[in-house]
Amino acid sequence: MFDIIKFFDSRGTPTICAYTKCKSDIITSVAPAGKSTGSHEVLTYPIIKGIPNIGQSFKFFKQNKKSIEQAFAFEEQEEFDSFLEELDETPNFSDMGGNLAIALSMLFLKVKAKEQNKQVFEYLNPKPKLNDLPKPLGNCFGGGLHSNNKIPVQEFLVLHNKKLISDNVKLNIDVYKAIEKDLHKRKIFFGKNDEGAITANITFNDAINLVEDAIDKLGEKSKYGLDVAASSFYAKGKYEFENKKYSEKEFISFWNDFLKKHKDVVYVEDPFFEDSFDAFAELQKKTKALICGDDLYTTNKDRFTIGVKKKSTKAILIKPNQIGTLSRMYETVKLAQKNDIDCVISHRSGETSDNTIAHLAVGLKGIKYIKTGTISGERLAKLNELILIEKLIS
């Protein structure tokens, strides 16, 4: 028995849970959803009158349920995912919806692991080692589309390099709590955004100082990064950043100067518009920091191939639901590994307790980082799963 049901994500938005009963266990797979989305992602749901319609995905599943159930008899992930592509007949899953596709694709993986009495990570990686676990990038302060403040930059991400992921998770939380304490002390009103990160109506420079002060107080060799999400404030060839407009050339200089000044910033995601391959390459050439492409690539192998040729970035964000199937995601990860480009597997702003990306992070080997928040249940579901995997491996 295979079926789908409507669940709700961390924003209270409906999403798709695919589930089945296997060896007396109920196996579920739930699709997340992004708010800051790249225009080259697959469609989350079929478009009806200009609006994504989850009901059409349920209708599609009902019409094709028998053949989908039969497809779970396939042995290989690639076979099943190819079946989904053929069933949909569009390159961006506009008929079934990318969230239905990824929910089914992840469910297939979990079923195959269960049939062999294995955890997903060990099904993918039969001999896992501690160094297969990723380092967590913890979102501790937020702006942009995820928050209701005036800071254009979307995420301020803290990073630690301890041997054990449990230690790194704890240190990220310590920085988060130090920021909370500082804001309390300064009597600055603050809240939490879509990803559970702290948000306050302060300037970008104030936020930088806030994060750096929290890191200094912790006394660890902490580093941090930014998810700029620059496409969200780009229009008509200009970047409008804190009431000032920058040309692309000026914005390259802005970030280059910033990185020279702030030596502890080791990661910058989407500092430019999603089609600006050359601007990414220019900044990456000037800095030792990891420049990472999210909206630039959308986990799409064809777009990533352009970036590889242009040497646009030294890192790529991996989001399974951006591309619709695990097989497509695997192709992109393999291309990154072939070219020594770091993979950062990531949650979405609209998340659930589904912990599949934690298993993918270990199972695929070579996933260097995981970006899945710092505090809030749906984020910690992934981090706690990694802590458990670490224990099982050790």
Catalytic residues: 195, 319
Which amino acid type is present at position 23? K
User: To which H or E segment does residue 15 belong?
Assistant: strand 14-22
Give the separation between CA 241 and CA 310, rounded to whole angstroms: 26
Six token digits for residue 171: 């240190």
CB 193 within 8 A of CB 199: yes
Give the separation between CA 89 and CA 112, rounded to whole angstroms: 25
315-318 vs 342-346, strand pairing mode: parallel
Which amino acid type is present at position 30? V
Six token digits for residue 46: 């079929």
Helices (H), the chain: 54-71, 77-88, 98-115, 120-124, 165-185, 204-218, 248-261, 277-286, 301-310, 320-323, 326-338, 356-363, 377-393
φ, ψ of residue 285 to 5 degrees: the values are -65, -30
Question: Could you tell me which residues come within 8 angstroms of residue 105 by beta carbon, excluding any fewer than 6 positions away?
Answer: 77, 80, 81, 84, 320, 324, 325, 326, 327
DSSP string for residues in 44-81: SS-EETTEE-HHHHHHHHHHHHHHHHHHTT-SSHHHHH
Closest CA to 110 of 43, 328, 102: 102
Question: Could you tell me which residues come within 8 angstroms of residue 70 by beta carbon, excluding any fewer than 6 positions away?
Answer: none
Question: Which residue is listed with tokens 């806030």?
Answer: 210
Six token digits for residue 334: 């393999």
